[in-house]
Amino acid sequence: MSVQPFNLTEIGSLASQIGASAPACKDIPSSSSSALRVAPKAYSGSLDKYASFKVTPNIGLEFSNLPLASLTDQQIEDLSILISQHNVVVIRGAHLTPQQLLDIGRKIATPKGTLHIHPITAEIPGRSELDELTVVSNEIVYGGENAPASDGWHSDISFEPNPSSYAALQIVQGPDAGGDTQFSSGYAAYDRLSKPLQRFLETLNGENDGNAFHEVANKSNIKIREKRGAANVGTDLRSVHPLVRTNPVTGWKSLYVSKAFTKRIVELPKSESDLLLNFLFNHIAQGFDFSTRVKWNPGDIAFWDNRSTYHAATKDFDESILRRGIRVVPLGERPYLDPASVSKSEAVKAVKDAKL
Ligand SMILES: [Fe+2]
């Protein structure tokens, strides 16, 4: 079965009809005040020859046999577009080496080549090339041992000024059953809210706080990394970002808030901020119709778009079983809300209406 992308070329050409914008083009003046800040990217079809299927209507795409290590630059560009459109793309049996994972991470980073160094990455003398490779392991416990799994919903490193665009995780070893990762769509989380609430949220910003990593660093006798890529510097792991952001690859709005990192809404007093954040955290946790669950086999890779996707670990297996993976986290733009952008459902509906 061929890949089922959203036709962004069509969405772009319809943009002026729905109040959004047209993609940049030398034949079209780009001075329109309704132009999107960044034109959506169009999928070229270069991955259609590889079998894939949509995991659910709202989120997830899976390939069984995609030769990741030998993809052309065009195919990697298309892969990044599919990740942004479907939130999470799983490639079964990839078995990349750490260097291959680093290479593909650098190619889908924006700007190309910029990968995150996690604040609690231990420095290994003479092996600085490993700084940008995160080892994910159940040997490191970040939260309360009995905390519900839904407390763990997050978008990677949203506490940074330049958070992650994409992330890629390859599981190397793990339990036969359990240790799945849950993913949820920020596009759908935004789409499911009422218009008045959507408009209100678009006026607000959240403070994302990762300073809990200082505690982990102290316990592990690790010094917090102060240079973590792009504008991510210093020891105060906090950043303010819009609660609704525009994904520059798709041009769609996404809710950008997570229980793990978003601690307050800066424009509201604490009582109102707590109430609204708790509503949004529950809204995401209860959205099982716009989430999907990835069951891992060693060698599988999942790519996700952290600008528009939440994820959470499932700690349901015996703690004596070692679960390990390697991860790269390409960095992206500073989050922004483009007033000319539209929701995913509005963009898809505009394409359908135009075909009638
Ligand atoms: Fe994560």
pLDDT tens per residue, range 174-214: 999 999 999 999 999 999 999 999 999 999 999 999 999 99
Q: In sequence order, which residues have a C-beta less than 8 Å from that of residue 278 and are 6 or more positions away? A: none
Instruction: Answer whether residue 261 shows pLDDT above 90.
Output: yes
* Catalytic site residue from 86, 192, 241, 327: 327
**What is the Å distance from ligand 1's center to 188 Cα?**
19
Q: Report pLDDT for 21.
A: 37
* Catalytic site residue from 154, 225, 245, 307: 154
Q: What are phi and psi for residue 198, nearest 5 degrees? A: -55, -50
- With residue 227 as reference, give the H or E element that holds it: none
Tokens of 8: 């962004």
Alpha helices by DSSP H, listed for 15-149, are 73-86, 98-108
As a whole number of angstroms, the distance between CA 287 and CA 279 comes to 12
| Residue 213, domain member (yes or no) | yes
Q: Report pLDDT for 127.
A: 80
Q: Report pLDDT for 142.
A: 56
Active site residue 300: no
Active site residue 327: yes
**Can you give the CATH number for the domain in which 268 is found?**
3.60.130.10
| Residue 135, domain member (yes or no) | yes
| Residue 2, domain member (yes or no) | no
Structural domain for 132, as ranges: 8-355
| Residue 76, domain member (yes or no) | yes
Instruction: Answer whether residue 319 shows pLDDT above 70.
Output: yes
As a whole number of angstroms, the distance between CA 328 and CA 164 comes to 10
| Residue 198, domain member (yes or no) | yes
Q: In sequence order, which residues have a C-beta less than 8 Å from that of residue 237 and are 6 or more positions away? A: 119, 159, 160, 209, 210, 211, 213, 214, 224
| Residue 280, domain member (yes or no) | yes
- Domain count across the chain: 1
Mean of pLDDT values over 329-339: 97
At CA 102, angle to CA 257 and CA 236, rounded to 5?
A: 40
Q: Report pLDDT for 101.
A: 96
Mean of pLDDT values over 277-302: 97
**What is the Å distance from ligand 1's center to 220 Cα?**
19
Supply the angle between the helices 73-86 and 98-108 in degrees, to the nearest 10. 80
| Residue 145, domain member (yes or no) | yes
Q: What is the pLDDT of residues 117-142, one digit of tens each?
A: 999 988 887 888 789 998 888 876 55
Q: Report pLDDT for 124.
A: 80
| Residue 3, domain member (yes or no) | no
Instruction: Answer whether residue 29 shows pLDDT above 90.
Output: no
Q: Report pLDDT for 250.
A: 97
**What is the Å distance from ligand 1's center to 227 Cα?**
20
Q: Which of 25-39, 151-165, 227-241, 325-339 has the lowest mean pLDDT?
A: 25-39
* Catalytic site residue from 156, 191, 300, 338: 156
**What is the Å distance from ligand 1's center to 324 Cα?**
13
Instruction: Answer whether residue 30 shows pLDDT above 90.
Output: no
What percent of the chain clears pLDDT 70, i.e. is strictly above it? 88
**What is the Å distance from ligand 1's center to 46 Cα?**
29
Q: Quote the mean pLDDT of the chain.
A: 89
Tokens of 112: 């190309």
Q: pLDDT band at 143, cuts 50/70/90?
A: low
Q: Report pLDDT for 14.
A: 39
Q: In sequence order, which residues have a C-beta less than 8 Å from that of residue 92 and are 6 or more positions away? A: 62, 63, 64, 65, 297, 299, 300
Q: pLDDT band at 23, cuts 50/70/90?
A: very low
Q: Which residue has the higher pLDDT, 79 or 31?
A: 79
Instruction: Answer whether residue 326 shows pLDDT above 90.
Output: yes
**What is the Å distance from ligand 1's center to 308 Cα?**
13
Sheet with 166-173, side-by-side order of all strands: 52-54, 61-63, 88-91, 301-305, 166-173, 324-328, 134-137
Q: In sequence order, which residues have a C-beta less than 8 Å from that of residue 340 and are 6 or more positions away? A: 19, 20, 21, 34, 35, 36, 37
DSSP state of 272: H
